[in-house]
Amino acid sequence: MLRIGFIGAGGMAQALARGLIAAELSPAERIICSCPRSDVLLLDQMRRLGCRTTSNNGHVADDSRILILAVKPPVIPKVLKDVAEFITPQHLVISVAMGITTRQIEKALPPKSRVIRVMPNTPALVREGASVFSCGSNTLEEDAGTAHRIFESVGICDQIEENLLDAVTGLSGSGPAYMFMAIEALADGGVKMGIRRELAIKLAAQTLLGSAKMVLETGKHPGALKDDVCSPAGTSIQAVHQLEKIGFRSALITAVEAATIRSKETGGLF
């Protein structure tokens, strides 16, 4: 069983703790997390899962063998300073902080520290996340498998070269925001055409869910699936034409590009 510590007790830490417990990778009593005493609600939520809590980051590092840094990028320098003296060759440090590279983290920790950088996304909260990770320069062969098992407990997980993780941030890391906007806009269209709001949202959300499942389970290209919906002279091809005229695809491509650039900028502020 894994001995896991979380620095941070927010949504991602809670999602991962639930996933680890449900997948029987680690019992709750072997999970410990820390966050400031002022975040009483977050600590209470972790305790309800059966996890141990503290406000001492060093205590978490000392008590665990896998240390997950589940905090925002600006907090990372302080966290690394708090835990550095407790990190040993037996530790695997996993960071989910956007834009912060494995090299930057390695430099703040003892020599030869094992570091993995992960970009998860918020659907991990309902165990439908999309996580991608990259290994640092000192990781062991089995560390990639460990990271894969941890993040697969809350969705799908894959490995990629680190220079592409900022692009992953722009695509799947920030992607839920684009999809929520799409659901809201589709629902607004339904309301405009007379459908009641509650039903319109449900239909829009289920449409995105079902469409995504078709892509993942059929293996067909999304363009081919789109073509299957668009009958000659039908309603769907008329709608697709309008989306093309207003730059729907271009807008999404630009969104991914903008988020990727911002992720790179965040790492530069470390």
For the annotated binding site, the residues are: 7-12, 57, 70-73
Residues contributing to the annotated binding site for NADPH: 57
CA distance 252 to 262: 15
| C-alpha–C-alpha distance, residues 157 and 129, integer Å | 8
For 24, list phi and psi in degrees, rounded to 5. Answer: 60, 35
Closest CA to 86 of 63, 115, 108: 63
Measured distance CA(39)–CA(72) in Å, rounded: 15
Task: State the binding site for NADP(+).
Answer: 7-12, 70-73
Q: Which of helix, strand or coil describes residue 231?
A: coil
Which alpha helices (DSSP H) does 33-72 contain, by range?
40-48, 57-63
Do 58 and 79 contact (CB within 8 A), yes or no?
no
| Spatial CA neighbour of 127 closest among 14, 3, 1 | 14
DSSP 10: S
Q: Chain centroid to CA 50: how far?
A: 23
d(CA 95, CA 18) in angstroms, rounded, equals 18
Q: Which three-class secondary structure string do you get for 11-77?
A: HHHHHHHHHHHHCCCCCHHHEEEECCCCCHHHHHHHHHCCCEEECCHHHHHHHCCEEEECCCHHHHH
Residue with tokens 């207003």: 246
Distance of alpha carbon 194 from alpha carbon 19, whole angstroms? 40
